[in-house]
Structure formats: C-alpha cells, structure tokens
Chain A
Amino acid sequence: MTRTNIHNNVYSRRRVSWGHTVIMIVLTVWFILIVIPFWNAIMLSFMSQGEGTRHPAALIPYGFTLENYKNLIARGGLGLAYQNTILISALGTAYGMLISTMMAYAFSQRFPGKRFFLLMMIFTMYFGGGVVPMYLLIKTLGLINNLSCIILMGGVSSFNIIIMKNSFENTPQALGEAARIDGANDIRIFFQIMLPLQAPLLATFSLFTAVGYWNEWFWSTLVLNKQGLQPLMVYLRSIVNTIDEETTHFSSAMTTRANVFPMGVRMCAVVMTMLPIMCVYPFLQRYFVKGITIGSVKM
C-alpha cells in the first residue's frame, strides 16, 4: 500500500514537470504574441522610409531616426490634443468620483425612498435609449464642440457605485455615529470620516475612471470635431486618416520628396498616445487588479 503510494507520487511528479513545461511554453508564446506587435510598432516609429520598407517586420532596430517624430510634431496639434485629454481625464475623474462616492455613501445609509432610487439607478444597467436620442440630447443642450460634454456625460457607473456602496456598508458605522452625537451631519461625516477610510478603493476607481476618459473616442469623435478641441484618440484617428489619404492620393512623389515613412509616422502617433498608460501601468497594476477582484467578490 505504502509502496504504491510512493510510486504514484514519483510518477505524478514526473508528469508535473512535463505538463508544467507545456504550460510554460504556451504562456511564453502568449507573452511573445502580446509583446511583438508593440515592439514592432516602436521599432518602426524610429525607422526611415528606406529601412522601414525593407524591414517592415523589424524586431531589432534597423537604423535610428527621429524624422517620423519630427514629421508628426510638424503636423501640429499633438500638444493641444494631449492638453485636451489631460484636462478631460483630470476634471472628469474628479467630477465622476465626487458624484459616485457621495451617491454610494448615501445608498449605504437608511432613508425613506432608498429602494426606489436604488432601483432607478440599477434599471439603467438593463436598459438604455441608445446612441440616437443621446446625440439629439447633446445637440439640444448645445454641447457640440464643447469639451465639458465629454466630462459631464462620463465618469459615473452604476456598477462602481454598487461596489462602493457595499464597501461603505462594511465600514464600522460606530465611527459615524460617534461624530453624529458630537453634532456632525451626514455631509461632514461623509467627507471627514467615511471617505478617507475608503482611500485604497478610491485610488482603484479613480484609476479606472481616468483610463476610461483617456480612452474615450466614440462620443469625442461625434462631439469634438473642431480643430483644437480634439482629444488624443480623435487626433490619432484623424492623423492616421490624413496620412492614409496622402499615401493614396499623392502616391510616392510626396512621400519620397519629403522623405516621409507613412507607417513610421502612424506608429509614432500610436506610441505617443499609449506612452503614458504604458509608463504608469506596471506600477499601478495592483490597483487595477484590486478593482476587478472587489467586483468579483460581489458576484
């Protein structure tokens, strides 16, 4: 009996390392498949027209030039697009988080009509009017070509509010009660006691909201199409379209004369747009991961 057990263990251990190798190979391939397109894009952004066409699949740098970046910057608008996106993301996150946390805290307390208001919020997760009435509303409100439109319409999510509400419910209520006896009202209790206790959760949701604003492109494309108002994503889309048109209409004459490498400039634009997220993501990853795990606990 004992002997067979030992035998089994040795046998399984051998199978472990074999299976483990297969798993590690699969994961390494997945890793490579994700890294390569980004890497290739970065390489191309530093390559000249000649080298770029000769080695479009470059994984090692063939030559090094900043011409593409110079060309992109010479087209103008990148700085302004950055400014717009940063403005939208910063103000939007502050606005969205303020509304959401206040609502979440209120929902964690007891008051007449709570069930009704909660259902009213949850219903929006099940049903929406769609793109058309939303667009007409924006038009009616006169928010076309107005940066604040994107800020105002985003930043709030029923799902996040429910998770934050649960988190407020799980904080000891005695702290708030003590302050209430000392004469503090709900607004003071919220801002001075309950909100600071939720700092880690706030960090997580602020990040999600900020990334959401950073990546917003759909409504921005429809609403902010005036030059100078474009956020990064819209700028990226329009610059790529311009380059595509240049290459098809003016064919080689324009590109060779200006020594422009269209793919290189496109990849410059891509790199410039994702650079900030790329730089901060590895350091903030644990906050992001926390966000999704808090949500899954609920489920």
Chain B
Amino acid sequence: MMTGTLKTRQMSLGNRIWQARYLYLLLLPGLIWFVIWCYIPMDGVLLAFKKYNAKLGVFGSQWVGMTNFRRIFITPAAIQAIKNTLQISLTRLMVEFPVPIILALFVNEIRGRRTKKILQTVFTFPHFLSWVVVSLILSNFLSASGLINTVLESFGFQKVNILATVSFFRPLLYMTSNWKEAGWSSIIYLAAITSIDPALYEAAQIDGASRFQQALYITLTGIRETIVLLLILAVGGMMNAGFDQIFNMQNGGVKQVSQIIDTYVYEITFQAAPNYGFSAAVGIFKSGINLILMLAANFVAKRISGTGLFG
C-alpha cells in the first residue's frame, strides 16, 4: 500500500491518467448522462435573456436583456404565484415539519415488535404511490358524496365540496401531505433514535425519570442534530412548494390560493402560444433563489455538523 501511494505520487500526470483509463471508462456513461440531462438544459439561463425563436434555436435567438425578468414583476399572476409559493412553503415548515418527529417518538413507544412492524408498514406505504393515484383516492374520499361528507351529514352538517372550497384547500394540502409522507419521513428520526446509547435510558430510569421525561430529555435531545439538519434541508428547498401534489389536486375554483411557481410555469409553457423565454426566466428566477437558499443551508449545516449536506 505504502509503496503504491509513493509510486503514484512520483508518476507524471499523463502516466497517472493512463493508469486510471478504465476508471474513466466506468465514469464516462454517467458523465454523459449528467451533461445531456443536467448541463445542456442549463442553456435555459441563456434562454431567459432571449426571445425564443424555434427556427433559430436557443443559441440563435435574439437577445432581449432583462426584459423577461422585468416582466415577472409586472405580471400579477407571476407575483401571486411567488407569494403563494412562499406562503405555502413557510406553512409547510411549521405544520408539516414537526409531525414526523412526533410520529417517530410515538412509534418508538410501541412495545410489541409485531404491532410496530404492521403500523410502520401502513404508515410508510402511501409514500410509494404517486400523487396521481393518491389525489384520486383522496378526491373520492373528500368529494360531495364521499365518506367525509357522509359522516358530516350524519352529524347534521351541510354537504360541502371540500376540494373546491378556497378556504379548505391549503389546510387540505398540509393534511394530505402529512397523510402521505409523515410515516416515511419519521423513519429517518427512528433510525437516529436507534443510535442513542441505551445506557442513557437506564441511568435516567435509576434517577426516576418518567417515560415522558425520557422521551423529552434523552430521545428528543439525542436526535436534535438530525432534526436541525433536516430543517436546514427543508429551508433549502423552500422554492419547491410541492408541484406533484398541487398539480394533481388543484382545480379552477381554488387557483388563487393553489397556484405556485411550478404550476404557473407549467401553465404558461404548455398552452397555445407559449413564450418560452419568459417561462425560462420564471424557472431560472426560481432556480436562482433555490441555489442561494441551498448554499446558505449547506453553509449552516457545515457549521453545525462539520460536513455539508451532500458529502
């Protein structure tokens, strides 16, 4: 080993590259993949400063400077979408982020192994269905003739079309998102809980701590670092307010509260006369803020745990 490293260090660069030729060969398909599917679409950065002409392509189209970006801030629908994105993301952070933590603490208290396994299987299952499927199941459940309304009616309430009611739509987003994802997200916390030293619990029991105190002072404290990192990660992704879910659940009646940047870009891009330059500008505006948020998140994460979010 020792001589091996010494030898590589003494070799010339060309020699070292030749030595690693098979590694480059293994790397090549992946690099091609990233170039085609990640780097070429980054020409959207150029597109955002141009008036797109299909005949001339992205590179040949005419430059229009900041026109597309300026247009974002004079288009009421775009401003509304940005506002909605931030509002929904912030609320998600407050009402969705804590749920998996609480769920993990609760699941951790289950005594029977079988019960634990069955419950966990059910809790995590919806994560593996797409929002296309989930939204259909839930729309049946929440429709005017669905289960929820039938139950409400039997208690003497009026029937309401829950999905088409503006004031219900956002709470519904948070609830259904928790319904689908909380069980899955709680697994990360449960994994963190299993790495807590059992001696801490024994010591606490000897000191007479109740289960609640143990959960609060040992379990919750033990997973503090995981919580902080996931919170930072969530802040880094704030510009994504949940396209899959909203796209599949929204309807014309609730657009004013449901339209987010991603659904807005979709709508203006895939219509009769799209302005690709403007669509790209909205997309780049979003990606740009995302990049800043992610870099900030990564910086904070590095400060706290010593490593960045992605290696």
Residues of chain A touching chain B, judged by Cβ–Cβ distance below 8 Å, are 5, 8-9, 12, 15-16, 19-20, 23-24, 26-27, 30-31, 33-38, 40-41, 44, 53, 56-57, 98-100, 102-103, 105-107, 109-113, 117-118, 120-122, 124-137, 140, 152-153, 156, 158-159, 161-162, 165-166, 177, 185-187, 190, 211, 215-218, 222, 233, 236-237, 240, 263, 266-267, 269-270, 273-274, 277-278, 281-282, 285, 288-289, 292-293, 295-299
Contacts and interface: CB of A to CB of B under 8 A. Distances in A.
B125 A133 contact: no
Contacts, number: 271
Contact of A19 (B17, B212, B283): B212
A297 B195 CA distance: 10
A106 B136 contact: no
B121 A281 contact: yes
Interface stretch (B40-48, B75-83, B86-94, B163-171): B40-48
Given A23-B106, A135-B269, A273-B133, A186 B23 contact: yes
A132 B211 contact: no
Interface in B266-305: 266, 269-270, 276, 279-280, 283-284, 286-287, 290-291, 294-295, 305
Contact of B123 (A15, A30, A185, A233): A30
The 7 A-B pairs with the shortest beta carbon distances in the complex, nearest first, are A130-B283, A103-B30, A133-B44, A129-B41, A111-B20, A129-B44, A215-B130
A8 B208 contact: yes
Contact of A292 (B4, B17, B191): B191
Nearest to A155: B33
B292 to A, nearest CB: 10
Contact of B138 (A24, A37, A288, A295): A37
Nearest to A298: B311
Contact of B27 (A117, A266, A281, A293): A117
B56 interface: no
B107 A99 contact: no
B145 to A, nearest CB: 4
Contact of B41 (A44, A133, A270, A299): A133
B44 A130 contact: yes
B67 interface: no
Contacts of A37: 137-138, 140-141, 147
Contact of B140 (A136, A266, A282): A266
Contacts of A293: 187-188, 191
Given A99-B30, A109-B20, A211-B128, A296 B41 contact: no
Chain B interface bracket (under 10, 10 to 19, 20 to 34, 35 or more): 35 or more
A36 to B, nearest CB: 7
Main SS at interface, chain B: helix
A296 B192 contact: yes
Contact of B29 (A102, A110, A211, A237): A102
Given A15-B212, A34-B122, 14 more contacts: A27-B110, A36-B147, A100-B30, A111-B24, A117-B27, A130-B44, A133-B58, A136-B47, A140-B57, A162-B310, A162-B311, A266-B140, A281-B121, A298-B311
Contacts of B188: 292-293, 295-296, 299
A109 B266 CA distance: 42
Contacts of B212: 15, 19
Contacts of B150: 56-57
A254 B133 CA distance: 26
A120 B30 CA distance: 11
A187 B22 contact: yes
B210 interface: yes
Contacts of B73: none
Contact of B136 (A122, A162, A270): A270
A270 B36 CA distance: 34
17 contacts: A19-B109, A19-B212, A24-B110, A27-B110, A41-B141, A44-B140, A57-B147, A107-B27, A109-B23, A125-B294, A126-B294, A132-B47, A133-B58, A137-B40, A216-B130, A240-B136, A270-B133
B106 A299 contact: no
A165 B310 CA distance: 12
A281 B128 contact: yes
Contacts of A36: 141, 147
A263 B41 contact: no
Interface string B221-240: 00000100110000000000
Contacts of A281: 121, 125, 128
B179 interface: yes
B185 to A, nearest CB: 9
A26 B99 CA distance: 12
Interface in B45-62: 45, 47, 57-58
A127 to B, nearest CB: 5
A130 B280 contact: yes
Given A102-B30, A131-B269, A233-B132, A40 B23 contact: no
A117 B31 contact: yes
A166 B287 CA distance: 28
Nearest to B144: A56
B245 interface: no
Contacts of B262: 131
Given A289-B124, A292-B191, A30 B280 contact: no
A298 B130 CA distance: 27
Contacts of A128: 38, 41-42, 287
A242 to B, nearest CB: 14
B309 interface: yes
A278 B122 CA distance: 10
